[in-house]
Each structure stands twice: as C-alpha cells, then as structure tokens.
Amino acid sequence: MRDRGEYLFTSESVSEGHPDKVADRLSDTVLDAYLAADPYSRVACETMVTTNRIVLAGEVRGPETVTPELLAHLTRLAVHDIGYDQAGFSWRNASIECHLHAQSSDIAQGVDSAGNKDEGAGDQGIMFGYACRETAALMPAPIYYAHLILRRISEMRRNKDKLAEGLQPDAKSQVTLRYVDGKPVAATSIVVSTQHDEGLDQAHLKRMLWPIVESSLPAGWMCPEAEFYVNPTGNFVIGGPDGDCGLTGRKIIVDTYGGAAPHGGGAFSGKDPTKVDRSAAYACRYLAKNVVAAGLADRCTLQISYAIGVSHPLSVYVDLHGTGHDVDEAKLEKTLREVMNLSPRGIREHLHLNRPIYAVTSAYGHFGREHDPETGAFTWERTDLVPALKSAFGR
C-alpha cells in the first residue's frame, strides 16, 4: 500500500456459498479425508461446480480406504453444511464425478526424501507473507472487515436469526476505507451482495443488513447511507453454482491480504503441505506476524522462493517498509532462517500441517484467524516466536 497522506483502499471478500469458495471447500474436504486416513498423503485436488454437478479431479497418493464413494459422501455433507438445497444446486441430488488419479512419479521422486536427500519442495515458486498493525489480528483493515461482515451474516443465517431471514449462502462484500497518515479511519463505501429468497424487498434487505455491517466495524466507521450498496443489480435470487460456475483457486486475493500486499499467485485449497504454494505461504505469514508482534516493525513483507525437488529455500527477503525499529533487514533475514527450519519438511513439522485442518480455511481468508488448539487449525497465526526474535535483537 502506498505511503501517502490520505487515500482510499478497497478489498473484497466472498462467502462460503460463493461458487468458487464451494469449489475450494470441496477440494479441502478431499484433502482432509486423505490426511485423516494417512497424514503423509499427497493430494492436489481441483473441483468444478455448476448447476447440480460437481467434478473432483487431480492427483493423489494415499490409502485405498479413501474411495470415490467416501469422497462423494463427504462432498454431499460439505454442500449440506454450506446450506445448498436449491433446485439448481442441492446436496441431495447433485451429480458427483470423481476423476482423481495417482500422483505423477516424476513429481513424487523430486519431493520424496531418499538416502541423504531431504524432502524437496513440491514445486518451484515464490511465496509472500505480510503483517501490519491496522487490526488486532495484524491484518490489513479492508480485507479483515470485508471477511468479518460476511462471517457475521453467515453465522446469523446458519443460526436462523430473524435479522438474516430469507438470506441464502452466496454473498460478496467490498469495503473501501479512508486512510490518513497511513492509518485507516473510516469506511467511505461498502457493498454487500447476498443471494435471497424470491420476493424479498430490496429496501427491506438493506435495512436488515445495515446493523450487521455497522456492528462489524469500529465505532463511527460506518459509511454514509448513500454509499451503502446492497445488491446493486436489484435482484439476487439465482446464485451459487447454479448462477455461476465455480473453480478451485480463483479467489487467491480474498484468501490472502486483499491486495494490500503481494502474493505468490499459487492457490492454497486442495493442496497437501508438501506443496510450498500453501505451506510456505503459511510460513511467510507466520514469520511476518511474529516480526510485527515482537515490536520489530509496524509492517513486514516477507518473500521466500523454492525450486521443485530442492529442500532449502533459494532466497529469503524482508521488507519492513521503513517501519523497522532499529532493525537491520539483512540480519532479520538471517535470524528468520535460524528460528525456523524453512525446508518443506521443517515447515510441515513446525506448524503441524499434516492434519485434517483445511476445510475450515477455505472461506473468509487463510490469515488473520484465531489459532484453535483443539482442532489444530491456523497454527501459522501463533506468535510463539516473539521471545526468540526479541532476544535476537536485544529487546
């Protein structure tokens, strides 16, 4: 984000019922099924969803107990949990095709450890992590509040709250914030589009959503009423996969930092943790968050790069955006390598990634969430490296 005296910045989010997020959820459901059966399974699952049709495809290496029938059953349960039982897309009668096949032996030999060779990265690529002081979660404010608005609407819909009566699973939000001297101070406009029952009056829908949105923002941040846009097309009855085809990995800006920071371009959902697109992006967020939480800087961007089949990162780059507190960035790059093993195996073990923890990550962002010790999800949001980082810089 640019360092200017005053500017506007916008991020968007989509709900778990958005067709692309349905696809992400189903890909991660497949991944969790394999990891539950064998924590060292290999999975690269892509999903397509459209009108009453679901297609699972990709490459796997795992136990034969994970059958196409089991995956079809788990897929229906996931669609039911999201809330789809509509004529055009229903958990009951959607056609499910499973086209998963064995992982390429050429990829497997590069990733597998053998003799003195450690486990290699599942692909080449660059991964980014980011943290800042704009919110308590150390996330950029626009994406944080865009997610929060939709999560609250979803919770109310699921709990059958009267304030959400008539709402359906597909929804999008967009939050524009005004920044003064680099800090967010208020929303200038907010967009919420949500699928709804036939006949629901749009003016009534706007009155329903206003208090939900207002309560999701800090006090006094709500935009003017004229800049609160609800279903700008005027009607949103046909939605979800019936209204638009959904594919895994098409919402990577939503999954990360809402455009406020760079990302590597690789999708997360459906990929086991040998794929550094996912695991190393989690490690980057983890390290950047700990840098900011340790008080070493107010903003931190971290980049790591890998080559397929190579166990060590090719580069580690840190940018503190001029906000470092007497911290040499070159020393910090070296320190981060010392406090965490950044090999694919080291990341998996440090963050405990070989567990069925991924379906819950598929909507409302992979970052800025609460670590759940009970389920083991979101370990990359912990700040347990703070003491080591402080000690390294004499704090």
Cα(360)–Cα(374) distance, integer angstroms: 13
Sheet holding 183-196, edge to edge: 6-14, 167-180, 183-196, 228-230
The binding site for K(+) comprises 46
The binding site comprises 18, 20, 46, 59, 103, 170-172, 244, 250-251, 267, 271, 275
Residue from 244, 288, 237, 221 nearest 22 by CA: 244
What is the distance of C-alpha 159 from the center of its chain? 23
Cα(221)–Cα(187) distance, integer angstroms: 5
Angle CA 216–221–224, to nearest 5: 105
The binding site for L-methionine comprises 59, 103, 244, 275
CA atoms within 13 A on the CB side of 151: 16
Beta strands in 41-118 (DSSP E): 42-50, 53-61, 95-102
The binding site for ATP comprises 18, 170-172, 244, 250-251, 267, 271
Q: What does each C-alpha distance from 61 to 53, 120, 278 come to in angstroms?
A: 25, 16, 18
Q: Is 221 helix (H, G, I), strand (E, B) or coil?
A: coil
The binding site for Mg(2+) comprises 20
What one-character-per-residue DSSP string does 240-304 give? HHHHS-EETTS-HHHHTTTTSS---S---TTB-TTSHHHHHHHHHHHHHHHHHHTTSBSEEEEEE
Whether the Cβ atoms of residue 278 and residue 297 lie closer than 8 Å to each other: no
